[in-house]
């Protein structure tokens, strides 16, 4: 990739994650500029959450190689745990995919948010409470004062998700990792929360990595899109290039599965992702790809510029031997 | 009065509907906001507040609406897991709880796919044993045919036969959902109730499951009740839609008609907020989201409704007929062309 330069807030190079013999992530490379938003999309099990969790250094029982450089801090993968404790919640923060299990069931949600606020901003208890109520209001929690004393199980799934967003935003991070922050929410609240995340991150010039399943939402919220299949980046680039001028057969398949309102035709792709002990050595999509050619199964395609223009290669990359 | 919304025929309602909800209420007692630490004061949270719904046999119904509006609570009432605190909830014209208490028929006939598919499966059991469990419990096949039926069900949901020997931890999220569906189908139910069964799945796995559910519904005449936040999914899978806001169904009707020309202002806001490629993110509704502990006077949507008029703060609109197939709870429904 060109200009992996200083102006990148986050730059991931050849991130590879093993769990036992299984290679869960394979040489994932991506970069994020200051103020940019990026969407990770792809089949479930593709490794999206693993990328986010690896950046937070919260992966357990895994062997990690490669690098993930945060501007001004160096390679997050090699920092001391003490340093990481300082960074989490302040410079980088994560909204977890499963709000129900990420919240502590034995404390009220008000206390969980209040404690983060007190820790990060060194506030008094009363000020933390005031700010907690403000944050609850800004993420659209009705009756914010009353909900301060609610335990997680007393809230609907969507409301738990909003609490998670409020906690992640408490420290005003430079880099926010949002793992499906809205998949449990109705579309009006979803739009409201995504707007809120974008607004709060933009105000501070912060950057944001979203994990999203909804490609239309990704096009609305994100500058760049990275498509993953079975732990490998198969296509990446500006949202329009990836969603409208994609060249990778898997991206095309993903796009064809999007259901727009009123659509009655849907062709489901054949097959499933191979299990890790049966993963082909070459292109991991080759067991399902309609365009597969002889070399695909045995030889892994490198991530290369998707097209050339008069001014040189574009920042749009694919990994495919026989692109569309 | 029952709003007969989802169909119009001469036969009495009870003969054609599987479920009827009449003014159903579900009030949870929750700690009073701001009460002192040791006080036991509670207030009622109206999770369901006058729900009217009539579900015909063989139909497919999408339940959509704001998070916290009571969709999961509604399903728990339909499944007889919770007794409503008010109103009547009927299954084949008899109270659901009576049906449930009177034997295994109800549990066999009405199957559920939970949102948290993985959490609903015992991790120590193989997939084969998990699917065999309801077969045995409901006495569906003689023991010697059990294995054959398990592989038939696995095939039905698009899983390989050798999945029977694996454990849930060895399956992906999409595969686990398929197991949950296979288990639900094992008792040969006539009603399948699913709480966000495809949300959080990638679009390709989702497409596979939707086509599966559609064929089950069409080929086996299954009645399908499907909670989803995705209006594209609702319009693909479900002939009818019910839109909820703060404990009440505010609009029902054929999915395409309702989404094509919503008549309740909340439905219109929902429709406008559905993600669309490269469009700007929709503007949020302005105004306060009311607390279910303290519903606004008059129409419950009046604090955020762009069409609000003076009488909206005075009258609480009930779900009432709007044309032959549709119903809406609004004093000033949006114009229909
Ligand atoms: N704790 C774990 N132990 C072993 N394998 C794991 C663990 N967590 C995840 N995996 C495996 O790692 C791979 C990537 O998982 P990950 O959760 O990153 O996928 P994802 O892209 O986030 O999927 P989804 O869209 O379903 O959330 C999957 O094959 C998964 O089975
Ligand atoms: N056991 C309970 N005790 C107290 N309040 C509850 C309980 N269960 C649900 N509620 C409240 O009832 C209301 C409806 O909740 P419900 O879970 O039915 O919403 P939902 O429409 O399914 O939302 P979501 O889309 O977020 O899942 C919410 O205000 C919720 O906080
Ligand atoms: S490398 Fe081959 S198998 Fe892989 S996506 Fe391209 S054409 Fe298909
Ligand atoms: S009754 Fe009034 S406030 Fe309520 S939805 Fe209709 S127009 Fe809006
Ligand atoms: Mg994930
Ligand atoms: Mg719910």
Residue B334 has pLDDT above 80, yes or no: yes
In a domain, residue B282? The reply is: no
Of A153-157, A228-232, A256-260, B133-137, the one with minimum mean pLDDT is A153-157
**pLDDT value of residue B33:** 65
**pTM of the full predicted structure?**
0.87
Neighbours of B85 (CB within 10 A): 15
In a domain, residue B291? The reply is: no
**pLDDT value of residue B290:** 79
Query: What average pLDDT score do residues A163-192 get?
Result: 87
The closest alpha carbon to A210, from A97, A98, A100, belongs to A97
**Number of domains comprising chain B:** 1
**pLDDT value of residue A76:** 96
Locate the chain B residue with the closest alpha carbon to A219.
B278
Q: What is the CA radius of gyration of chain A?
A: 20
**pLDDT value of residue B3:** 47
Query: Which-ligand-closest: CA of B201?
Result: 1
Distance of CA B230 to the CA centre of its chain: 13
- The rounded mean pLDDT for chain A is 89
Range of the domain at B183: 2-6+13-31+42-274+296-328
Give the residue, B201 or B72, on which the prediction is more confident.
Answer: B72
**pLDDT value of residue B292:** 81
Query: Which-ligand-closest: CA of A252?
Result: 3
Given pLDDT bands bounded at 50, 70 and 90, which one contains residue A239? very high
In a domain, residue B37? The reply is: no
- The rounded mean pLDDT for chain B is 87
In a domain, residue B222? The reply is: yes
Query: What average pLDDT score do residues B270-299 get?
Result: 87
Atom of ligand 2 nearest to the CA of A161: 26
Query: How distant, in Å, are the alpha carbons of B104, B109, B154, B168, B181 from that of B135?
Result: 13, 13, 13, 19, 14
| Parallel, antiparallel or unpaired: strands A207-211 and A37-42 | parallel
Q: Do B291 and A146 touch (CB under 8 A)?
A: yes
Q: Do B235 and A262 touch (CB under 8 A)?
A: yes
**pLDDT value of residue B70:** 92
**pLDDT value of residue A99:** 66
- Distance from Cα A290 to the centre of ligand 3, integer Å: 8
* B114 touches B200 (CB < 8 A): no
**Helices and strands (DSSP H and E) totals, chain B:** 11, 12
**pLDDT value of residue B35:** 64
- Distance from Cα B202 to the centre of ligand 1, integer Å: 13
pLDDT tens-digit profile of B226-252?
999 999 999 999 999 999 999 999 999
The closest alpha carbon to A193, from A204, A209, A182, belongs to A182
Residue A161 has pLDDT above 70, yes or no: yes
In a domain, residue B286? The reply is: no
Q: Quick check: CB of B67 below 6 Å from ligand 2?
A: yes
Looking at residue B144, the DSSP 8-state letter turns out to be G
Query: What average pLDDT score do residues A310-316 get?
Result: 76
**pLDDT value of residue B118:** 83
**pLDDT value of residue A2:** 42
pLDDT tens-digit profile of B120-153?
889 999 999 999 999 999 989 999 999 999 999 9
DSSP notation for A5-35: -TTEEEEEEEEEEEETTEEEEEEEEEEEETT
**pLDDT value of residue A122:** 85
**pLDDT value of residue A73:** 93
Q: What is the CATH number of the domain that holds B84?
A: 3.40.50.300
- With a pLDDT cut of 70, the percent of chain B lying above it is 93
In a domain, residue B288? The reply is: no
Dihedral, B113, B326, B296, B22 alpha carbons, nearest 10: -60
- Type and span of the H or E element at B169: none
- Distance from Cα B20 to the centre of ligand 3, integer Å: 52
A45 contacts on B by Cβ (under 8 Å): 172-174
| Parallel, antiparallel or unpaired: strands B240-245 and B60-65 | parallel
In a domain, residue B311? The reply is: yes
In a domain, residue B300? The reply is: yes
Please give the backbone phi and psi of residue B156, each rounded to the nearest 5 degrees, phi first. Answer: -55, -40
**pLDDT value of residue A312:** 66
First CA to last CA distance, chain B? 28
B173 contacts on A by Cβ (under 8 Å): 44-45
């Amino acid at each position: 990739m060109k200009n992996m330069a200083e102006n990148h807030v986050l730059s991931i190079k050849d991130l590879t994650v093993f769990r036992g013999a299984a290679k869960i992530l394979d040489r994932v490379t991506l970069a994020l500029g200051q103020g940019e938003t990026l969407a990770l999309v792809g089949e479930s099990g593709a490794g999206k959450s693993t990328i986010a969790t690896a950046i937070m250094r919260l992966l357990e029982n895994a062997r990690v190689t490669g690098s993930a450089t945060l501007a001004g801090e160096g390679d997050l993968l090699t920092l001391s745990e003490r340093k990481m404790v300082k960074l989490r919640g302040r410079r980088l923060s994560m909204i977890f995919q499963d709000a129900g299990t990420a919240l502590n069931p034995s404390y009220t949600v008000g206390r969980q948010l209040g404690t983060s606020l007190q820790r990060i901003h060194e506030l008094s208890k009363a000020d933390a409470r005031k700010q907690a109520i403000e944050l609850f209001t800004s993420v659209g929690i009705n009756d914010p004062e009353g909900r301060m004393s609610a335990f997680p199980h007393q809230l609907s799934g969507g409301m738990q998700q909003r609490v998670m967003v409020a906690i992640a935003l408490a420290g005003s991070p430079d880099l926010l990792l949002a793992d499906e922050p809205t998949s449990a929410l109705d579309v009006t609240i979803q739009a409201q929360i995504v707007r809120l995340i974008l607004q709060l991150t933009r105000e501070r010039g912060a950057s944001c990595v979203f994990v999203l399943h909804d490609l239309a939402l990704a096009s609305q919220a994100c500058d760049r899109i990275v498509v993953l299949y079975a732990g490998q980046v198969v296509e990446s680039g500006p949202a329009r290039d990836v969603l409208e001028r994609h060249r990778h057969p898997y991206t095309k398949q993903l796009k064809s599965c999007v259901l727009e309102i009123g659509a009655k035709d849907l062709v489901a792709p054949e097959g499933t992702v191979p299990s890790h002990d049966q993963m082909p050595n070459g292109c991991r999509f080759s067991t399902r790809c309609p365009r597969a050619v002889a070399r695909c199964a045995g030889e892994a395609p490198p991530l290369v510029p998707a097209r050339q223009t008069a001014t040189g290669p574009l920042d749009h990359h694919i990994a495919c031997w026989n692109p569309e | 009065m029952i709003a007969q919304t989802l169909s119009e025929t001469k036969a009495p309602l009870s003969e054609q509907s599987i479920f009827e909800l009449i003014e159903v209420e579900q009030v949870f007692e929750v700690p009073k906001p701001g009460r002192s630490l040791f006080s036991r004061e509670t207030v009622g949270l109206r999770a369901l507040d006058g729900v009217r719904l009539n579900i015909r046999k063989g139909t497919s119904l999408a339940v959509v609406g704001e998070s916290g509006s009571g969709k999961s609570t509604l399903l728990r009432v339909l499944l007889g897991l919770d007794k409503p605190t008010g109103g009547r909830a009927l299954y084949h014209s008899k109270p659901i709880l009576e049906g449930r208490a009177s034997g295994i028929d109800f549990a066999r006939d009405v199957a559920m796919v939970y949102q948290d598919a993985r959490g609903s499966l015992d991790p120590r059991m193989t997939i084969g044993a998990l699917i065999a469990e309801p077969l045995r419990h409901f006495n569906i096949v003689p023991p010697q045919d059990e294995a054959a039926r398990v592989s038939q069900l696995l095939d039905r949901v698009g899983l390989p036969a050798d999945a029977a020997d694996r454990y849930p931890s060895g399956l992906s999220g999409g595969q686990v959902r398929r197991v949950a569906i296979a288990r639900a189908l094992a008792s040969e139910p006539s009603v399948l109730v699913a709480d966000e069964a495809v949300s959080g799945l990638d679009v390709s796995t989702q497409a596979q499951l939707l086509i599966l559910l559609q064929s089950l519904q069409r080929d086996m005449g299954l009645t399908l009740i499907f909670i989803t936040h995705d209006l594209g999914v609702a319009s693909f899978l479900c002939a009818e839609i019910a839109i909820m806001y703060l404990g009440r169904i505010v609009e029902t009707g054929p999915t395409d008609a309702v989404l094509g020309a919503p008549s309740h202002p909340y439905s219109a806001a929902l429709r406008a907020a559905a993600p669309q490629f490269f469009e700007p993110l929709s503007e949020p509704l302005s105004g306060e989201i009311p607390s279910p502990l303290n519903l606004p006077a008059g129409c419950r949507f009046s604090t955020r409704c762009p069409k609000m008029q003076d009488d909206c703060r005075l009258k609480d609109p009930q779900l009432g007929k709007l044309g032959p197939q549709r119903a809406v709870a609004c004093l000033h429904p949006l114009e229909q062309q």
